[in-house]
Amino acid sequence: MDNIEADLLATSIIPAPPASSARIFMDASTRDLRFLVRPRGAVPEMSSPEEVAVINLDPDGAQEGIWYLSHLQQNC
């Protein structure tokens, strides 16, 4: 998985519209739940172009994986 902190720093230093966004949620049930919005693809390791993803990173847990993957909604 990407280094989200480095990605966010890079998008703030190098202006390249549209910007990416990432949030990390941690609690007792999900140690590392990530919400990603990346215009060039939320999961670069996959060949899919979806821009929005919710990923649970838990190598020792049974619920690790991509929980949600979708395209951004286009304005009408």
Q: Where are the domains of the chain?
A: 4-70
Asked whether residue 74 carries a pLDDT value surpassing 60, the answer given is yes
pLDDT of residue 15: 62
Beta bridge partners of 65: 56
Confidence of residue 69 (pLDDT cuts 50, 70, 90): very high
Cβ contact 16:37 at 8 Å:
no
Euclidean distance between CA atoms 44 and 49, whole angstroms: 9
**pLDDT per residue as tens digits for the range 15-58:** 655 666 777 777 777 778 888 888 878 887 777 788 888 988 88
Cβ contact 23:34 at 8 Å:
yes
Confidence of residue 64 (pLDDT cuts 50, 70, 90): confident
Please give the residue that has the higher pLDDT: either 43 or 7.
43
